């Protein structure tokens, strides 16, 4: 089972999202296509397993710094998650598609919840906030990756932003004055800076919901 998931992930890393297929995994293992069904019930399960595998990587990498203000700790957590996902761009789409219901997803969620409860959020709000943060991380990564071919490694951020800027220069300023006037910023929508700006807005909003200690 492990080798099957590993093969699937390396196919995604090298060839992007389309590179994953049951037959390709079989080929990669030197085996006939139907052999895969000995290990995995169907393709959807294989995708869920890949998601779980990547979450395991994330779990290892997310060392919870117990120092600093809670907003900093949450921001670090989110940034690490993003880094891990961007390191496997071919698999990023799967996170929007395959339900994150495995053990590793639970473990990650529990940790994030802990961080937010420690911050002083009521448990109900902590739960909502955890999901809000995941939507931000997963959504940002998915949209960022969607503009690439999904192979690893991603082109450097500066290049991707520059390409967007070139494309945005064709926006007619007469018809769309605001969009044209902020093309520089819109080009950088797929950047770490945008991600963290958004995260900052989000954390400010959460701060207002922290109950006085």
Partner DNA sequence: ACCTGAACACCGTTCAAGT
**Taking CB under 8 A as the rule, which mask of x and - marks residues 184-213 in contact with a second copy?**
-xx--x----x--xx-xxxxxxx-xx----
- The distance of closest approach from Cβ of residue 50 to DNA in the complex, given in angstroms and rounded to an integer, is 12
Candidate residues 28, 80, 128, 152; the one interacting with a second copy per rule CB under 8 A:
128
Burial 30-65 (b: 16+ CB within 10 A, else e): eeeeeebeebbeeeeebbbbbbbbbbbebbeebeee
Give the one entry of DNA, a second copy, none that residue 202 binds, where binding means its C-beta sits below a cut-off of 5 to 8 angstroms depending on kind. a second copy
Stretch that binds a second copy, among 69-77, 83-91, 140-148, 151-159 (CB under 8 A): 140-148
44 binds DNA (CB under 7 A): yes
CA distance 9 to 92: 11
Between CA 115 and CA 134 the distance in angstroms is 14
Candidates 34-42, 145-153, 163-171, 194-202: pick the segment binding DNA (CB under 7 A). Answer: 34-42
Size of the site for DNA (CB under 7 A): 17
98 scored as a contact of DNA (CB under 7 A): no
Beta carbon nearer to DNA, 49 or 78: 49
Q: Please pick, from the candidates 6, 28, 43, 80, the single residue that binds DNA as defined by CB under 7 A.
A: 43
Single out the residue of 34, 169, 182, 184 in contact with DNA (rule: CB under 7 A): 34
Nearest to 98 by CA among 54, 67, 62, 130: 54
**Separation CA 5–CA 183 (nearest Å):** 41
Q: Residues with Cβ < 8 Å from 9, sequence gap 6 or more?
A: 50, 53, 54, 88, 91
Supply 196's token pair: 């963290």
Q: Establish how many alpha carbons lie within 13 A of residue 118's alpha carbon, considering only the half-sphere containing its beta carbon.
A: 17
| Local structure of residue 188 (DSSP, 8 states) | G
> By C-alpha distance, which of 127, 112, 119 is closest to 64?
112
* Shortest distance, position 17 Cβ to a second copy, whole Å: 8
Our CB check for a second copy shows the closer of 57 and 146 to be 146
Q: Scanning the structure block, which residue is given the tokens 């919901």?
A: 209
Contact of 81 with 62, CB cutoff 8 Å: yes
Task: Give the residues lining the site for a second copy (CB under 8 A).
Answer: 93, 96-99, 101, 106-107, 109-110, 113-114, 117, 123-124, 126-129, 131-132, 135-136, 138-140, 142-143, 146-147, 167, 171, 175-179, 181-182, 185-186, 189, 194, 197-198, 200-206, 208-209
Task: Give the residues lining the site for DNA (CB under 7 A).
Answer: 20-24, 31-39, 42-44
């Amino acid at each position: 089972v492990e080798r099957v998931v590993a093969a699937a992930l390396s196919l995604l890393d090298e060839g992007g999202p389309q590179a994953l297929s049951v037959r390709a995994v079989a080929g990669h293992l030197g085996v006939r296509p139907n052999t895969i069904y000995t290990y995995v019930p169907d393709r959807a399960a294989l995708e869920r397993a890949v998601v779980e595998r990547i979450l395991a990587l994330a779990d290892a990498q997310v060392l919870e710094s117990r120092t600093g203000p809670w907003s900093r700790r949450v921001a670090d957590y989110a940034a690490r998650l993003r880094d891990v996902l961007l390191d496997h761009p071919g698999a990023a789409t799967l996170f929007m598609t395959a339900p994150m219901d495995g053990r590793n997803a639970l473990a990650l969620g529990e940790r994030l919840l802990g961080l937010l409860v420690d911050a002083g959020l009521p448990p109900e709000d902590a739960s909502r906030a955890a999901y809000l943060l995941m939507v931000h991380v997963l959504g940002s990564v998915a949209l960022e990756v969607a503009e690439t071919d999904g192979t690893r490694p991603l082109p450097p951020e500066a290049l991707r932003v520059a390409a967007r800027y070139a494309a945005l220069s064709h926006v007619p300023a007469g018809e769309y004055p605001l969009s044209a006037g902020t093309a520089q910023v819109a080009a950088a929508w797929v950047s770490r800076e945008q991600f963290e700006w958004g995260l900052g807005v989000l954390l400010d909003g959460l701060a207002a919901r922290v109950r006085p200690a």
